[in-house]
Amino acid sequence: MQIIRGFRDILPDNIWIWQKIEREAVKLFKDFGFNEIRLPILEKTEVFARSIGEVTDIVEKEMYTFPDRKGDKLTLRPEATASMVRSYVQHKMYASDPIRKFFTIGPMFRRERPQKGRYRQFYQIDAEIFGIAAPYADTSLIFLLNELFKRLGLKDLTAHINSLGCPDCRPDFQKALLDLLESKKDELCVNCLRRKDTNPLRTLDCKAPQCRAALKDAPSTIDFLCDECKEHFAIVKKTLRQQGVEFIEDKTLVRGLDYYTRTAFEIQTRSLGAQSAVAGGGRYDLLVKEMGGPDIPAIGFAIGFDRLVEVMETLDKKVEKETLDLFIIAIGKPAVKAGYLWSTNLNLQGIRTEVDYRGKSLKALMKRADKLSARYVLIAGEKEIKEKTCILRNMETREQVVIESDKIVQETIKIIKNNN
């Protein structure tokens, strides 16, 4: 039996990095006023087709979509924003207070070509702000991302920002872009020829070398911004400078999804060699209304969890794994029974313990304690059980103390917690 191609197991030896990232992210999000929301991984297909766009690669090629027994089309979520908006609208969260800040962490699914750092089941950390049109919502998310990565010890990071305009100013840009695409149509790939007529902005996101070369002089959305969008983007840039966040104004940055407006951003790193994005997001002021809700602005981002873990693994200063507090070496049936009871009582007091019940020798069990990185070892053999004592050994200093059996739990807790 083998795992599905493009999926993977995240094993215990590696999960500690994921847990560290989650702990730091959750704490920071809560400090910034975000509340956690948990969303289903399966939605009606229309949730994504309507929000992401019918002519995007995600909807056309990458979604896991299938009919259920009643013939309804269902899809494994390819991203979290659409589900977040669906929940916000369905539960009328805007009725009591339209301003809401949510985060969620979980798996997404896209049938892309598997490669290093890209999986068909991948994980994202997602944060969204509803109800704030001011540019300070934009800067707060970019600042939050910058702070999170700083706390995780990441380096070689750069924020890339752009403005995609709004429905008032984008038509002029699209006309200029269409004129260029028409003049370059003989040089475009098959996909971009189709996008030219359905969603021309997405041609700028094409990775095909011939399209990149053909569109190197493509018009920029920034050159066509209306006065309101110009002011919005200017405040974003000024505020980021005031907060000490380094950024690059990247005119080539566009989002691959239809719902984005105004500010778009990515956090990119060179830690994995070539430049790659570990987080990205932007403003989508029209999406709530398009999905059946009132006219409420919104902005959000997603962190590529898998890519972030890879970056964390390249750090010079490794994050230490959680160690085992105590390994109980119990030799003989009476000692094994006592060791089991000591272990459960210590677990209840927050002491991480392990007992080996296989009847191995003292030498073999000491090797296992080393392998588990145990800080302390509690030794109870036939001699100790008869004398109603145990030996507690510090595995780093090699110091040992004898403890009476009826005081094992309280004395062990005292010694271990005093040496944390």
Q: What is the pLDDT of residue 382?
A: 82
pLDDT: is 247 or 315 the higher one? 247
117: left (phi over 0), alpha (psi -120 to 50) or beta: left
Segment 392-397 mean pLDDT: 91
Instruction: Give CA separation, 337 vs 68, 195, 344, 347, 351, in Å.
Output: 51, 70, 11, 16, 18
Neighbours of 74 (CB within 10 A): 14
Segment 353-359 mean pLDDT: 89
CATH architecture of 12-169+225-313: 2-Layer Sandwich (3.30)
At 328, phi and psi to the nearest 5? -95, 115
pLDDT: is 99 or 118 the higher one? 99
HEC secondary structure over 176-241: HHHHHHHHCHHHCCHHHHHHHHHCHHHHHHCCCHHHHHHCCCCCCHHHHCCHHHHHHHHHHHHHHH
Query: Crossing angle for the helix pair 227-242 and 135-151, nearest 10 degrees?
Result: 30
CB 117 within 8 A of CB 297: no
CATH architecture of 326-413: 3-Layer(aba) Sandwich (3.40)
Q: Which two tokens stand for residue 384?
A: 């100790």
pLDDT-based confidence at 95, cuts 50/70/90? very high
Residue 162, pLDDT above cutoff 80:
yes
Q: What is the pLDDT of residue 204?
A: 79
Question: Among residues of the chain, what percentage have pLDDT more than 90?
Answer: 52
At 353, phi and psi to the nearest 5? -130, 165
- Stated pTM of the model: 0.85
Dihedral angle at the C-alpha atoms of 81, 204, 197, 163, nearest 10 degrees?
Answer: 60
Quote the mean pLDDT of the chain: 88
Q: Say whether 326-413 and 12-169+225-313 share the same fold.
A: no
Name the pairing type of β-strands 353-355 and 326-330.
Answer: parallel
> How far is it, in rounded angstroms, from Cα 217 to Cα 345?
70
Q: Chain centroid to CA 347: how far? A: 30
Name the pairing type of β-strands 35-36 and 42-44.
Answer: unpaired
> How far is it, in rounded angstroms, from Cα 276 to Cα 116?
12
* Domain segments of the chain as ranges: 12-169+225-313, 326-413
For 289-303, how does the pLDDT look when each residue is reduced to its tens digit (9 = 90+)? 999 999 999 999 999
Residue 158, pLDDT above cutoff 90:
no
For 124-150, how does the pLDDT look when each residue is reduced to its tens digit (9 = 90+)? 999 999 999 999 999 999 999 999 999
Closest CA to 268 of 240, 307, 299: 307
For 172-212, how does the pLDDT look when each residue is reduced to its tens digit (9 = 90+)? 888 888 888 888 888 888 878 877 777 777 787 777 888 88
